[in-house]
Amino acid sequence: MTYSNTSEQQINQDIELQKQPNQRVILMVFIALIVAMLLSSLDQTIFSTALPTIVGELGGVNHQIWVTTAYICAATIVMPIYGKLGDLMGHKWLFMISLSLFVIGSIIGAFAHDMFALVAARAIQGSGGGGLMILSQSIIAQLVPVRQRSKYMGVMGAVFGFSAVLGPIIGGWLTDGPGWRWLFLMNIPIGLFVISIAFILLKNPVPLVNKPKLDVLGIVTMSVCVTSIVLVCSWGGSQYAWTSPIILSLVLIAVLSTFAFIYVESKAKEPIIPLSLFLDRNFNLATFTGLCIAISMFGTIAYMPSYLQMVSQLNATQAGFLLLTMVGGLIMTSICMGIVASKTGHYRWMPIASTLIVAGALLLLSSVTVSTSLVLIGVYLFLLGVGIGCGFQILVLIVQNAFPLSEVGTATAANNFFREIGATLGSAIIGSIFTSNLMSEFSNNRELETIDIHSITPLFVIQLPKQLQMMVGVAYNHALMPIFVYIIPVMGIACLAAFYIKEKPLDNSRRTPS
């Protein structure tokens, strides 16, 4: 990546970045960053259990999918933008702006009286939340040497995984308790507190450019591409058939806008995702491996709760708590891997181990039957979490370690951008195959073919005769569990990619080696 007439500013920035803040300041800032990252990550999943209540109060059932889609779409689009601007201008004010947008969106959502206002609020939240996820990791890169950074990145990875499962649990608890508007209201005081911490403690390095030139065409083409992909993943197989004109048109738009984006970025002076990133082997391999792991993680998180409710007849909260076994494994290994990488400087084996353990856990999950005990399912989920934790956040560190500190924000944003795409694709692909399998299972059973699978609920299943309950459970088992076998080859390819990652030394200074 090149900058015009910025060599002197870049030298000044690197010198200033190497002024080590004291450990107390780093700890306080890190806590604030963790809280900000937790808020943004929670809001990706926290509304899943609250939607039926919200729709019942505000109406607009045909727009409910946009409550989640608007947030994910906005967050994914802004990630590379925040990453690029952070490298050019510094992260402090961008972090405060993203937090302010998140709080403003929360205020609008808390007082929304129709679905249009609610969806708009979620889009505003996403435009701030995407920045929080990226800038939190970039600010740590600004404060901490890369060798020591692995410990902090391990905790961030644990928080990210924890929030993905905790979101639906908190969403259900608040909705059943004080009400769904508290899903927004709780963000306001916490967000204002983190803004004050950032204002007092964060410092902005010397900007590389005083007036950065926005890559407008890059932002437009990327927005069209991301929106098309997210809509295909959200609507395909549910709102519309995969072969419907709308879905096929969106696929075509996604393909054309991708080529347009690549062309625009090759000509832009300050591209939001510089094509030069893809010249680095470690960036390509680590980003691809992270995308594959995201497919496994979010595909499992998305559909295992439904399986547990339908087959094991757990309620939503109990199903969520069982998934915490996966989070336990993720937190344990994510933090431990960060400490090991910091102490030894060796990390290349971690993504390899991650993909192998995830593949093994998926194989074990594919063997689950309707009679498998919840304890054993919990053990399998724990192993899946162990595998994810081994490599998920270390892969971000590998990307950061491949570039100079002045480009870390852009590289981190690009890596997270593709990880978010992987999460969206994972949920959509597994969901599509699962729905297709389930329809086939129900249509091939004379006693189940009269049941509408699009309106079936756990409460409906519990009220069925025992024999039909068992049939429904078997149908769900046969529809979901074989899919985990299909993901294993994906993890095999990811393992091969991870094997070719080059282990570059983790520098103990704050200037990331190039």
Residue 58 is predicted with a pLDDT of: 80
* Segment 189-201, tens digit of pLDDT: 999 999 999 898 8
Radius of gyration of the chain (CA): 23
Residue 205 is predicted with a pLDDT of: 62
Report the alpha-carbon distance of residue 426 to residue 433 in Å, rounded.
11
What are the DSSP calls for 240-297, one per residue?
A: B-TTSHHHHHHHHHHHHHHHHHHHHHHH-SS-SS-GGGGG-HHHHHHHHHHHHHHHHH
Residue 20 is predicted with a pLDDT of: 56
Residue 140 is predicted with a pLDDT of: 85
Residue 3 is predicted with a pLDDT of: 41
Sign, CA dihedral 293-299-302-304, equals negative
Residue 127 is predicted with a pLDDT of: 93
User: Which residue positions in the chain have pLDDT lower than 50?
Assistant: 1-8, 10-11, 13-18, 511-514
What are the DSSP calls for 91-114, one per residue?
A: SHHHHHHHHHHHHHHHHHHHT--S
Residue 513 is predicted with a pLDDT of: 43
Residue 443 is predicted with a pLDDT of: 83
Residue 454 is predicted with a pLDDT of: 63
